[in-house]
Amino acid sequence: MSFETRISIENLNLFYGEFHALKNVCLQVPKNNVTALIGPSGCGKSTLLRCINRMNDLIDGVRMEGRIVIDEQNILTPGTDVVALRKNVGMVFQRPNVFDQSILNNLKFGLRIHRQMRSKNETKDLIQKCLEDVGLWDVLKDQLRKNARELSLEQQQRLCIARVLLLKPEIILLDEPCSALDPIATLHIEELLRVLRERYTMVIVTHNMQQAARASDYTGFMYMGQLVEFGVTREIFTAPRQELTENYITGHFG
């Protein structure tokens, strides 16, 4: 495999108290691609994803060892500016986490938190651009005062992605972003990911192997806290090198 690395994960171990959740994980995440993490429930996919923007710091008793290097900086060092990190490494969660406020206020929320509010016209132009990027501008441009919770689940998830884009991240993490959506809405979100990968590095956790095969360029298979295999998605799904990977993909366990 030949690619430009955007995130370098080196000998990463994570402990929840005495429980060893991630075990010597080494992974090079390619720049401007979609990388999928697959594996059975409890294998460490979401835990690994949350390491990349230090979300696990919010859990009591978590301890990490190893290195995660972004922009030549090991983000696990004590002096890391976690607020700046989470601005650069955006997160989209399993269920759309829109606020019980207008669409406009939902979009402005991150700008206010990170003190990035601009002039009225600049903010308006930025919001329009991000809504265009997620395919919502034409639908919502005259409804920005509408409560965001009145949108469909697919629209809410697109809105959450737009809210992340407003902060101009370089990396976007997605933790099962389609699990609450119907099949048609899922395909729409997958198509959006294919468009966004031109400008962003994305890592997606999914239980849906068909989704990983459709939407990702590279795939990592995890099992019991370890990264068993990583490679080009089409090769992982058609000619895996590890028997354990093949058994999972062919449905022998999961």
Q: Which residues pair with 73 in a beta bridge?
A: 70
pLDDT at res. 120? 83
Domain membership flag for residue 49: yes
Domain membership flag for residue 145: yes
DSSP 33: S
pLDDT tens by residue, the chain, 254 residues: 678 999 999 999 999 999 999 999 999 999 999 999 999 999 999 999 999 999 999 899 999 999 999 999 999 999 999 999 999 999 999 989 999 999 999 999 888 877 776 788 888 999 999 999 999 999 999 999 999 999 999 999 999 999 999 999 999 999 999 998 999 999 999 999 999 999 999 999 999 999 999 999 999 999 999 999 999 999 999 999 999 999 999 988 76
pLDDT at res. 119? 80
**Contact present, 37 and 203 (Cβ < 8 Å):** yes
Q: What's the distance, CA 202 to chain centroid?
A: 6
Domain membership flag for residue 165: yes
Domain membership flag for residue 45: yes
3-state class of 65 per DSSP? strand
Domain membership flag for residue 74: yes
pLDDT at res. 252? 83
Indicate the Cα dihedral angle 68, 200, 91, 44, nearest 10°: -50
Domain membership flag for residue 254: no
Domain membership flag for residue 192: yes
Domain membership flag for residue 190: yes
| Number of domains making up the chain | 1
- Which CATH number goes with the domain that contains 25? 3.40.50.300
What span, in angstroms and rounded, lies between the C-alpha atoms of 185 and 203? 19
* pTM, 2 dp: 0.93
130 phi, psi to nearest 5 deg: -70, -35
Domain hosting residue 9, numbered range: 5-249
What span, in angstroms and rounded, lies between the C-alpha atoms of 102 and 123? 16
